[in-house]
């Protein structure tokens, strides 16, 4: 009887000392990971989080009332995801399972979502055929205004001159929405004054060849882009000179790590030496072990606590220093490793920052 009872215990039955030791060994602050979402959403959804630090996948079951076959548009505020189907969007906290529904939209399915928390808006961006931008507004009482307001519909003339990159990851920067074109052009939409967008042509001397481009804002609030070539090479990290509106190549991330290749790109400072000045894409050369866990919070830190039957805990980083995952180090003059043979973790995956989930 005692054996049967012990099998039904979960992490909450453990003593504080035992739980504290588990959290000490497997806490996640400072170790970003990307969460992988099942293709089909049900009432109960399984999330998988891969850690390049441990080279482990952690599986979490969570209650989440999300639209069927929901696509992830962006990650904000740690474990908050904006996701949705053709006409329904929600903001979901995958740590608690809480879901906030946004107003329904009559617009075709968005490709990206961008949050402006300062004014309580969410922008839906469609880039499949030109650029269309709409926004939903949240009032101070937490309620949403009915419907989405169309901010900008690209006219046929501008569609001829500007082709948005399908991986452009629009970024809100200094009150304007920036969208990258397929050949280095920039579309800049001033949201503060609701002006018509400006299109800045391909900069003089632009020599960067890329298949995918991911915009992001650095921790110094500079607008930057990760440009990744065919099969992962070459890789260029550039920053925008706002005076000349030209891209300038940079050879260092100043000790930070860059996690890109999903709708959200993030730059994270780290004291882990082998991760510094590294770029990470969600492609693996070998598949990691999966550990079934509960996601718990203690002292404003999130941790994965293995369920009973999964007693093996990773106690240290992967000693092979990230060879299982596609990475590229800046500033050493070495050509980026080809992604040939590396499997994409999931088509519906995104980087999330556990360190900002307090």
- The pLDDT assigned to 293 comes to 81
> What's the pTM?
0.84
Could you give the C-alpha distances from 255 to 269, 330, 346, in angstroms and in order? 7, 10, 28
Q: Can you tell me the distance from the alpha carbon of 323 to that of 325, in angstroms, rounded to the nearest whole number?
A: 5
Q: Following DSSP, what letter does each residue of 333-345 receive, concatenated?
A: -PPPPP-TTPEES
Whether pLDDT at 36 is above 90: no
Q: Which of the four pLDDT bands, split at 50, 70 and 90, describes residue 39?
A: very low
pLDDT in tens, 276-287: 899 999 888 988
Residue 110's contacts (CB-CB under 8 Å, 6 or more residues apart) are 73, 84, 89, 124, 125, 126, 134
Q: Can you tell me the distance from the alpha carbon of 329 to that of 120, in angstroms, rounded to the nearest whole number?
A: 37
Whether the Cβ atoms of residue 306 and residue 59 lie closer than 8 Å to each other:
no
Whether the Cβ atoms of residue 232 and residue 269 lie closer than 8 Å to each other:
no
Q: What is the mean pLDDT of residues 52-76?
A: 78
- The pLDDT assigned to 178 comes to 93
Whether the Cβ atoms of residue 77 and residue 355 lie closer than 8 Å to each other:
no
H or E segment to which residue 287 belongs:
none
* CA-based nearest residue to 265, from 277, 253, 257, 255: 257
- Tokens linked to 265: 């790109």
Q: Which of the four pLDDT bands, split at 50, 70 and 90, describes residue 137?
A: very high
Q: Of the ranges 156-170, 257-271, 280-294, which one carries the lowest mean pLDDT score?
A: 156-170
E strand intervals along 64-185: 71-76, 80-84, 89-93, 99-101, 112-116, 121-126, 132-137, 149-153, 171-173, 176-180
pLDDT in tens, 295-316: 776 666 667 777 766 555 555 5
More confidently predicted of 56 and 156 = 56
């Amino acid at each position: 009887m005692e054996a049967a009872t012990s099998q039904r215990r979960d992490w909450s039955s453990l003593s504080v000392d035992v739980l504290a030791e588990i959290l000490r060994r497997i806490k996640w602050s400072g170790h970003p990971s990307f969460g992988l979402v099942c293709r089909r959403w049900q009432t109960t959804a399984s999330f998988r989080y891969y850690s390049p630090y441990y080279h482990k996948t952690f599986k979490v079951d969570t209650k989440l009332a999300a639209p069927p076959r929901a696509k992830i548009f962006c990650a904000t505020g740690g474990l908050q995801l904006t996701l949705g189907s053709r006409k329904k969007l929600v903001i979901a906290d995958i740590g608690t399972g809480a879901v906030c529904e946004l107003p329904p939209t009559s617009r075709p399915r968005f490709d990206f979502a961008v949050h402006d928390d300062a004014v309580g808006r969410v922008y839906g961006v469609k880039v499949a055929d030109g650029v269309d931008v709409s926004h939903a507004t949240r009032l101070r009482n937490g309620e949403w205004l009915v419907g989405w307001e169309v901010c900008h519909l690209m006219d046929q003339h501008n569609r001829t001159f500007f082709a948005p990159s399908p991986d452009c990851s629009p970024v809100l920067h200094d009150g304007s929405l920036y969208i990258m074109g397929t050949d280095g052009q920039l579309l800049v939409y001033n949201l503060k004054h609701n002006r018509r967008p400006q299109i800045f042509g391909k900069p003089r001397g632009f020599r960067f060849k890329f298949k995918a481009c991911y915009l992001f804002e650095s921790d110094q609030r500079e607008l930057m882009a990760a440009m990744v070539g065919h099969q992962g090479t070459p890789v260029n990290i550039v920053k925008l000179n706002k005076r000349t509106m030209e891209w300038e190549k940079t050879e260092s991330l100043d000790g930070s790590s860059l996690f890109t290749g999903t709708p959200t790109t993030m730059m994270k400072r780290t004291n882990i030496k082998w991760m510094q000045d590294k770029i990470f894409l969600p492609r693996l050369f070998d598949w990691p072990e999966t550990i079934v866990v509960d996601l718990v919070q203690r002292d404003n830190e999130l941790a994965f606590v293995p369920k009973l039957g999964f007693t093996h805990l990773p106690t240290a980083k992967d000693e092979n220093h990230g060879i299982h995952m596609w990475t590229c180090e800046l500033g050493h003059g070495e050509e980026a490793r080809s992604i040939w043979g590396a499997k994409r973790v999931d088509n519906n995956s995104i980087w999330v920052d556990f360190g900002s989930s307090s």
